[in-house]
Structure 1
Amino acid sequence: MDCWISIWAALRTKWIGLACGALIAAGLSTTGTAESMRPAFPGAIGFGRNATGWRGGEVVAITSLADAGPGTLRDCAENGDRPRICVFSLSGTIKLERPIRPGSNLYIAGQTAPGLGVQLRNGTSARSPIEIEEAHDIVLRFLKLRPGPSLEPSPVVDALSIENGERLYFGNLSLMFATDENFSLHVSGQVSSDITLERSIVAYGLDRSSHPKGKHSKGALICSKEGTDNQCGRVTLWGNLFAHNRDRNPDVNGTDIGPVEVVNNIFYNPISQFGELYDHTGNLRFVYVGNVAAKGPSTTLRAAWALEAFEYVDAHDITIIARDNQVLRRADCARNGQFSVLNPLARMKQAEDPEAPESVAALPSSEVLARIPLRVGDQIGGRRVSDPLDTLVLNSLAKCKGRIINSVEEVGGWPELAELFQRDRDEDGMSDDWETGRPGLDPDRPNDPWAIDIQTGLPVIEAYLANLAGDI
């Protein structure tokens, strides 16, 4: 059943190889599988695809854009570790005075919001909008996380911050305006593993802003560590667009727990560096397949390689599997000088493994520039267009424009998202429009969200989430 649902989704979006490749890689049968083995949603990919601890839980409606209180995102997300799904009855911007720290077993379904969706930004907070700490089984999809500078200098304003977590899935996010990393994955004496970041825009890290170190526009930091006995790996970055970040595109460490796989991403217009590989945390196994690294107007001669390896710990090693990657120097914005995939040390660390990547099927790099931008960021084909900021990033890539920024105002500030509401008369977490005319459902009668949907064979609430996300 599950693979056929994924095939249906893939046919509608022309991603057959990806949808079924992920299921087959997970060892799932094409004729059916146990409920406990079904991925988080049809077409879920990467090491984080089994983030399913929220199944069977309560469906909670977000009815307020306030920072805290009844009906808010915080009230749903921080409510212990009990299984739950947060659905949105409205669209607009949530301004935070402190970070949201979600509990485990949670699905935050941004695809359920009407209009242009939901944007999180900081008010007086000097930390990340969402901080996931020592949590597991979280799915976070279709949101815009754009903190902006802190009022006082702060070293911890990421767009999304994770410290010690397992089975985490992040998809179709817009991560911008951090003064530290836009995406930060950390480990401190515990485990961070089985994590996916996919189809997201990671852009416009603020450079000369409120970070105490000064210039600090950063893309993503993977498996940084503090303390000892750290385990970090089994991380997938697939189909993301990194743009206009000074460096760390991405910055990667790892341990023997499993590989970090960076597949089919676009890295555009850094200043000084694209990807950086280190051995600080442990033995890193790094898979880099089907990616595109492209210089832009801000890129200096220092950014001479798509990947640079650095060794600092004699007891640790770096292994790199790299193939079918492209480096681009387009005539209208590229600078002269050397530009290749691997720096000399990275070339020495190469290994052959035709079975890699193991967590996701790879598209040919020749198709990445044409296909990835169609599905990246907080956009949903047929029902949600990219907002002005995501559109600006996509247009800058297409036209070889754009630059590293120091302030939010340089790109027009935060967009004003209309506060739209959708009706749910029976308050069962599914909109009236979706329930109307659907076999077995009634917008005037609360429905069991975990009953089986006649059309898809999924639980009704999962069919709702998948349908709104364009998964099926």
Structure 2
Amino acid sequence: MLLITRFGLTSAIAVLFSAASAQNAFTGAVGFGAIATGGNSGATYHVTTLADSGNGSFRDAVSAENRNIVFDVSGYIVLESAVSLSSSITINGQTAPSPGIGIMAGEVSASDKSNIIIRNLRMRQGNLDSDSGKSAFNMGGATNIILDHCSVAYGQWDSIDGVGITNITISNSIIAFPIGQQFGAHIEGNQATYFGNLWVSGHNRQPLSKANSQYINNVVYNYQAGYTVANTGGVFSHDIIHNYFIAGPSTTSVSNYYYQINAGQSVYATGNYADTDSDGVLNGAQENKVGSAVVLSAPWASDSATMADRSAADAYTYVLANAGASPRDEVDAFAVSTVQSLGTEGVIYTNQASTGLSNGGYGTL
């Protein structure tokens, strides 16, 4: 019997989730994943241990549907194997005591699941995971998923993998320092929203988006290739609005902020800037020419214009101040400071330990 599993919401949790509804995952949720309701009407499960498994563990918390998951502990949960999420759950990392909660050394998988909300969670795979074919977060075949204010780093296959998705949002998150393939996110499927994210030191796929997509108010730093479609990506529509691409020491071709966007794509691109001189000053120029794509005169998605309420320069300021899990830990602080060098610092890593951060590069929670 799990005494830590409680059915019905306590008054504090009721206040925390009162904004959630069938129409909106939470106040401020945007994009295609915002229709997720998670486990907001289900049981509340308290994670009370950092152990990999057993009563009160994160693995046990996500093993059943219709749960609001809250954290009574802070620190890293070190996975002994990949952990699979159930459908219809909400993971509320913001409930953890300071300095917050993180998952390390294994994959968090929402593969083939639906209706999941994840907020303020750190997912740091790294090479302590012996399976280099897995990612930090996998949502292949998933439907109605929103990641908000998450921090994803040291993914081996991809930081975020999502082939066969329907209605996902990645928002206000930091996707940094992929190792292995050194890819940020691989998304294929129906509809995807990327809003207000900070992408740091990835070789490519920031993201690779083979889907009808919204890409708004993102900041991409030290890229070798930025927003990517790939020539085999199929025919999709893309709203690319008010993003900032900033070259760094690893950037080998500064014009690859848009990559492999072919004539089969339809793109609305406006207000995007690229700073390519690596001089330590934010002084980019507008760059809205997107390969051989069909140029749209208006956004294809009805809410893209409303979402794009910050200029690229304002997005830079806002994203660097607000993206990622809160409070910021050592890894995210390092990612942000790397971006703030504005072209003078940055490495595309093959091993998290090479960052020189504590705890073998994972940082200490």
Whether TM exceeds 0.5 here: the answer is yes
d(CA) in 1 for partners of 2:254, 2:225: 5
Residue 267 (structure 1) aligns with: 220
Cα offset, 1:357, TM superposition: 5.7
1:392 aligned partner, one-letter code: F
Secondary structure at 2:307's aligned position in 1? coil
Partner deviation per Cα, 1:129-167 (whole Å, 9 max, x = no partner): 2111211110001011001115656222x1111111111
| TM alignment of 1:249-260, pairs within 5 A | 249-254=206-211, 259-260=212-213
**Counterparts in 2 of 1:93 and 1:361: CA distance versus 1, 3 Å:** same
Cα offset, 1:261, TM superposition: 0.6
Residue 102 (structure 2) aligns with: 119
1:159·1:175 contact (CA, 8 Å) conserved in 2? yes
Structure label with greater radius of gyration? 1
d(CA) in 2 for partners of 1:89, 1:317: 50
Please tell me whether residue 351 in structure 1 is matched to residue 351 in structure 2. Answer: no
d(CA) in 1 for partners of 2:31, 2:129: 37
Cα offset, 1:233, TM superposition: 2.2
Residue 115 (structure 2) aligns with: 137
Q: CA RMSD in A?
A: 2.3
Unaligned runs of 5+ in 1: 1-32, 123-127, 224-231, 418-472
d(CA) in 2 for partners of 1:408, 1:305: 25
1:297·1:333 contact (CA, 8 Å) conserved in 2? no
Please tell me whether residue 328 in structure 1 is matched to residue 328 in structure 2. Answer: no
2:319 aligned partner, one-letter code: I
d(CA) in 2 for partners of 1:320, 1:355: 8
d(CA) in 2 for partners of 1:364, 1:326: 10
Cα offset, 1:37, TM superposition: 3.9
Cα offset, 1:44, TM superposition: 1.3
2:137 aligned partner, one-letter code: L
Secondary structure at 2:59's aligned position in 1? helix
Residue 403 (structure 1) aligns with: 347
**Counterparts in 2 of 1:403 and 1:48: CA distance versus 1, 3 Å:** same
Cα offset, 1:60, TM superposition: 0.5
| TM alignment of 1:44-123, pairs within 5 A | 44-79=29-64, 81=65, 83-122=66-105
d(CA) in 2 for partners of 1:46, 1:324: 19
Residue 266 (structure 2) aligns with: 319
d(CA) in 2 for partners of 1:130, 1:152: 14
2:280·2:341 contact (CA, 8 Å) conserved in 1? no
Please tell me whether residue 372 in structure 1 is matched to residue 319 in structure 2. Answer: yes
Equivalent pairs counted in the alignment come to: 336
Secondary structure at 1:342's aligned position in 2? coil
| TM alignment of 1:321-470, pairs within 5 A | 321-332=268-279, 340-346=287-293, 349-354=294-299, 356=301, 358=303, 361-362=307-308, 363-379=310-326, 384=327, 386-400=328-342, 401-411=345-355, 412=357, 413-417=361-365
Cα offset, 1:341, TM superposition: 4.4
1:244 aligned partner, one-letter code: S
Cα offset, 1:309, TM superposition: 3.0
Unaligned runs of 5+ in 2: 1-18
Secondary structure at 2:215's aligned position in 1? strand
2:258·2:291 contact (CA, 8 Å) conserved in 1? no
Residue 195 (structure 1) aligns with: 168
**Counterparts in 2 of 1:116 and 1:284: CA distance versus 1, 3 Å:** same
**Counterparts in 2 of 1:152 and 1:414: CA distance versus 1, 3 Å:** closer
Residue 250 (structure 2) aligns with: 298
Partner deviation per Cα, 1:253-309 (whole Å, 9 max, x = no partner): 12xxxx211100000002x31121136353211111010001011111x34232123
TM-score (norm 1): 0.67
d(CA) in 2 for partners of 1:151, 1:89: 26
Partner deviation per Cα, 1:432-470 (whole Å, 9 max, x = no partner): xxxxxxxxxxxxxxxxxxxxxxxxxxxxxxxxxxxxxxx
Cα offset, 1:356, TM superposition: 4.5
1:296·1:333 contact (CA, 8 Å) conserved in 2? no
Secondary structure at 2:41's aligned position in 1? coil
Cα offset, 1:358, TM superposition: 2.3
Residue 258 (structure 2) aligns with: 307
Give the one of 220, 238, 260 matched to 1:286.
Answer: 238
Residue 12 (structure 2) aligns with: none
**Counterparts in 2 of 1:354 and 1:131: CA distance versus 1, 3 Å:** closer
